[in-house]
Structure 1
Amino acid sequence: MPGLSCELIIVSDLRIVLLGKSVLENSGVGNFILGAPAFDSEVPPDVVERIGGRLKDRHVIIINSPQLLQTNISDHQITQTVRECVYLSDPGPHVIVLLLKHDQCSTEDQQHVEKVLLSFSERVFQHTMVISTQEPTETNDILQKIIQKCANRHFSLQRSSSPHDLLQMFEDIVQMNVGQHLVCAEASQSFNIEQQSTERISEGEKLNLVVCGSNRTLKSSISKRILQQTDRRSDAELHGRQISLVELPALFNTQLSEEEVMRQALRCVSLCHPGVHVFLLIIPNAPLNNEDKAEMEEIQRIFSSRIIKHIMILIMQNSEHQTELNEETQSVIESFGGRHLVFGPKTQVSTLMKKIEHMLKENRGEVFSTETFLEAQMKKLLQFEEMEKKIHSFETHLLAKAPTKMSSSKKSGKL
């Protein structure tokens, strides 16, 4: 009798669909998996986002749908959202994650969850698991039934939880399905027809690129490579696309005031109507210096986490000899969402354009607009004001207690 062998199945991109009821909760779990603030907790609940990153040594793509498990959405909304999830996970998801709470799981929830899952495929339960984000006070029988339908795959997310433990559960699902993704042909085909119609409308739109980074020479070099021009802002047609390119001056500059830095950033975005499709962040293929690091921190601070889905990192290389990226550069790539390209002297611009077109597809043509920029600044201002209120309240509390302490000291004869 021939011996049995067990082969480890490895897939290149691990595609995960995250389903839930709350933008805040879905964003938190998505960020936990990617180890970076990739998902914005203030996006509208009907927006389905796709963001890539790394978890341990795996490239992970998360398609985040924070309203699909809400029981009050219509059948039409379910159909449209499922189609979008399938399209963004093309050719199909490896894992579907249900975010459920012990105290918010009723018979109605169970029926709704099953309706949503079966909208993907009849075989969906082979690819599905449950994540709960709270410690249960008592057992919920309905939740247990859902978990049992998912082959008892359940991960309880606590403060001590590790993303690596969760990755192992994802990998187990992949192994059980022999590396095969969930096939959802009907939903994918329906959404593709609608998506093609949308793409035809936007074909004539200009592609707006912003080149950023601390090194002006590297930024000028990539600008020339893309447009073969030296103007600070240039329009040209490239690979069938009308392109507008803006170079963002280095924001980390001790000679510039905070007001001037904000003005430079806002001006850059406002030059790109209706908004920026892709920010090309240029870094050298060498150990990063303090200016490089400070500039990247400033970009994240000024533009907020909302910029991550629009960032591609270009690693400029002096020779065609491919060298392994150092750990620091890999960490930078992951913190900005995982999209990158090593750009050598002979790298074709068409290679960059293919990656950019793929980004546009992932982002469904969404742009980083002046409204996005201003909303991010308003959010930071409100957070600052809230912090000031807390500090003032704390100071008032301390001052109110101070006389009591002094009085007690005098009574006891202590000065």
Structure 2
Amino acid sequence: MAYSMHYRGSQLNNQPSNDAAQQQSNNNINIVLLGKTGVGKSSSGNTILGGNRFPCGRSLSAVTQESTVQRSVIGGRSVSVIDTPGFFCTNLTQEKLSREFARSVFLSSPGVHAFLFVVPFGRFTKQEEEILKKVTKVFGKDVLKHVILLFTYGDECIRENMDKEIDGNDVVRRVVQSCQGYHVLNNKDLTDRQQVSDLLMKIDSIERNQGYYTNEVYEWAQKWPWEQYWEMFKKFFKAIIDFFQNVAKSFDKNHWRNGFVYETLKNV
């Protein structure tokens, strides 16, 4: 079973970026990086953009504390990459983390073409599957129409064997099947622009089939707790209605039974 799509593209050129995402046109791509702290999100952003744009490196604390955007012109196209704080980032409160995720969508205005769920190759655990569930809670279920699983440490894997390895791991297979496939990046080789070209082609395929993830979709996703309360509200009143209907049925039955007994005794 093959999950990855293989493409061939022209050699990519890079030009300096600005600090804000350019308004989207048919020739632009907006990408948001998601994942735990230390999985290589910032490094992947640098690989895609072809230079050291995002600060990264090993640290006891998360390097990325807020959502930031960098942009390059790649093959004549404006590519914006938004780096985000890691899920479970211990340096940020839950409220601050939620604001940063909202900000990542705002920086991609008017929409995100692809969310790259970054996971180091060989370090995929059940927790990653749980993180993806958290992603759907934050951004809504429709976000999965725009998520690509991005494996880092591509220098440590044999790419030709990836499909087979995914098939052999139930957790990874479920995650890949729930997303729009996967991609592998070697962040140690910024000169390998073919791997970036292949990724952009996959993102183009998502846009053709799914469109892009908009601010309005995100705002609607934030209403899910109220939807949950509404469902609880409906269940509560349904339970009340069912209760009184059962009482009414029981009353009718008892009334009929008592009437039957009365008529029987009267005729004795």
Letter in 1 for 2:233: E
Q: 1:251 aligns with which of 75, 83, 87?
A: 87
Preserved CA contact (<8 Å) 2:37 2:87: no
Q: 2:41 aligns with which of 214, 219, 227?
A: 219
Determine what percentage of the aligned residue pairs are the same residue.
25
Preserved CA contact (<8 Å) 2:129 2:175: no
Aligned partners of 1:342 and 1:335: how far apart in 2?
17
Partner of 1:351: 198
In 2 relative to 1, CA 270–390 (structure 1 residues): closer, same or farther, beyond 3 Å? Answer: same
Letter in 2 for 1:361: R
Kindly indicate whether residue 226 of structure 2 is the aligned counterpart of residue 381 of structure 1: yes
Partner of 2:265: none
Aligned partners of 2:47 and 2:2: how far apart in 1?
32
Map of 1:157-236 to 2, 5 A cutoff?
Answer: 202-204=25-27, 206-227=28-49, 228=51, 229-230=53-54, 232-236=68-72
Structure 2 gaps, min length 5:
4-23, 56-67, 247-268
Kindly indicate whether residue 175 of structure 2 is the aligned counterpart of residue 332 of structure 1: yes
Aligned partners of 2:87 and 2:156: how far apart in 1?
29
Preserved CA contact (<8 Å) 1:252 1:295: no
Say how many residue pairs are matched.
202
Letter in 2 for 1:340: Y
Cα deviation, residue 240, structure 1: 1.5
Letter in 2 for 1:343: L
Aligned partners of 2:76 and 2:196: how far apart in 1?
13
Cα deviation, residue 278, structure 1: 0.8
Aligned partners of 1:58 and 1:216: how far apart in 2?
28
In 2 relative to 1, CA 258–388 (structure 1 residues): closer, same or farther, beyond 3 Å? Answer: farther
More divergent stretch after superposition (321-330 vs 214-223): 321-330
Cα deviation, residue 237, structure 1: 0.9
Q: Deviations over 1:180-230 (max 9, x none)?
A: xxxxxxxxxxxxxxxxxxxxx9445x3211011114341121111012112
Kindly indicate whether residue 236 of structure 2 is the aligned counterpart of residue 391 of structure 1: yes
Kindly indicate whether residue 200 of structure 2 is the aligned counterpart of residue 368 of structure 1: no
Aligned partners of 2:238 and 2:177: how far apart in 1?
39
Preserved CA contact (<8 Å) 1:276 1:368: yes
Partner of 2:74: 238
Aligned partners of 1:354 and 1:58: how far apart in 2?
17
Q: Which has the higher contact order (CA 8 A, sep 6+)?
A: 2
Cα deviation, residue 355, structure 1: 1.7
Map of 1:74-153 to 2, 5 A cutoff?
Answer: none
Cα deviation, residue 241, structure 1: 1.0
Structure 1 gaps, min length 5:
1-56, 60-200, 402-415
Q: Deviations over 1:25-57 (max 9, x none)?
A: xxxxxxxxxxxxxxxxxxxxxxxxxxxxxxxx4
In 2 relative to 1, CA 202–270 (structure 1 residues): closer, same or farther, beyond 3 Å? Answer: closer
Cα deviation, residue 261, structure 1: 3.9
TM-score w.r.t. structure 2 length?
0.63
Cα deviation, residue 307, structure 1: 0.5
Cα deviation, residue 58, structure 1: 7.3
Q: 1:277 aligns with which of 103, 113, 118?
A: 113
Aligned partners of 1:311 and 1:333: how far apart in 2?
9
Q: Any idea what SS the aligned residue of 1:359 has? A: helix
Cα deviation, residue 371, structure 1: 0.7
Preserved CA contact (<8 Å) 1:214 1:291: no
Preserved CA contact (<8 Å) 1:270 1:369: no
Partner of 2:183: 341
Q: Any idea what SS the aligned residue of 1:296 has? A: helix
Q: Deviations over 1:318-367 (max 9, x none)?
A: 33533423422122100224x2112235553122122222222223xx22
Partner of 1:178: none
CA-based RMSD: 3.2
Partner of 2:266: none
Cα deviation, residue 260, structure 1: 3.6
Map of 1:31-50 to 2, 5 A cutoff?
Answer: none
